[in-house]
A and B are shown apart, each in its own frame.
Chain A
Amino acid sequence: MDAIGQFVFYFFALVALASALLFVTRKGPVAAALWLVSTMFAIAGLYILLDAQFVGAVQVLVYAGAIIVVFLFVVMLLNLGEGDAAADVRRAVPRVVGGLVGVGILAEVLVLLRGVAPNGRPSELLLDPSAPARATGDVNVVAPVARALFTDYLVAFEVTSLLLLASVVGAVVLAKRRSAA
């Protein structure tokens, strides 16, 4: 990876982490949702740097474009715009415990990562020698994903559509105002 790639990677990584921290610490739901959008965009940039252009585009479309918008709609629908700071964030003891659990989980994952990447390099055990080396600048990035989705995982893919249908019906039924209870 050349110098520009390194710079872009660290830029997106820093934006993702800073936005995530700001997202967690904001009081109001609207500000939190907008910082979450920033995090999602930075993660999409990381996807593209990892040669996952399709996933990056879907990330922007689905997360930033659909899910967060639905969150904002609900915030407006319930008229929760201004967050009650004293009521939202928990008191000191649960906050400290939550922070300690977060630090513990992070430390645990980082220790596990040392097995994946001793000396900061990916372990040879993890690299599949039979996998074809992917040429950089490969433009055909959707076909391999689509091939996996429509051949090996076709049943799971179709079940996913059923899941979406069920969730749409469920959401309508749950959110519907009861007319004659």
Chain B
Amino acid sequence: MIVETLVVAAALFAVGLVGVLTRRNALILFMCVELMLNAVNLTFVAMSRLHGGTLGQAFVVFVMTVAAAESAVGLAIVIAVFRHFGTVDLDRISLLRG
């Protein structure tokens, strides 16, 4: 079952990657990154189960914390960008300067 879980995690990661590459909405891009982080977390837990330990679960807690911080700051940036440019389409946001 652990090997099947690793396969599922790999497939979820690939789906998230395809989403990052094919979408232009900044919000959906963020959600795809969250999906990829979740796939990595699933791999952590499955590997830690394979080893018979629980250390991987501790790392998952760290990854989740960093993901929460990332989404908070990232969404704040999306809000600021939307106020400035009036869109979250990444192809129209190509200037660093205002």
Contacts and interface: CB of A to CB of B under 8 A. Distances in A.
A113 B8 CA distance: 12
A47 B42 contact: yes
Contacts of B78: 74, 78
B93 interface: no
A39 B32 CA distance: 12
Contacts of B23: 24, 88-90
Contacts of A177: 83
Secondary structure at chain A's binding surface: helix, strand, loop or mixed? helix
26 contacts: A9-B1, A20-B35, A32-B28, A43-B38, A47-B45, A59-B38, A59-B41, A62-B64, A63-B38, A80-B25, A95-B22, A98-B18, A105-B13, A106-B14, A109-B13, A110-B10, A116-B3, A117-B3, A121-B3, A127-B52, A144-B53, A148-B54, A167-B72, A170-B72, A171-B73, A174-B73
Interface of B: 1-8, 10-19, 21-25, 27-28, 30-32, 34-35, 38, 41-42, 45-46, 48-55, 57-58, 60-62, 64-73, 75-80, 82-83, 88-89
Please list the 7 inter-chain residue pairs (A to B) with the smallest Cβ-Cβ separation, ordered nearest first.
A98-B21, A167-B69, A131-B52, A102-B18, A174-B76, A106-B14, A171-B76
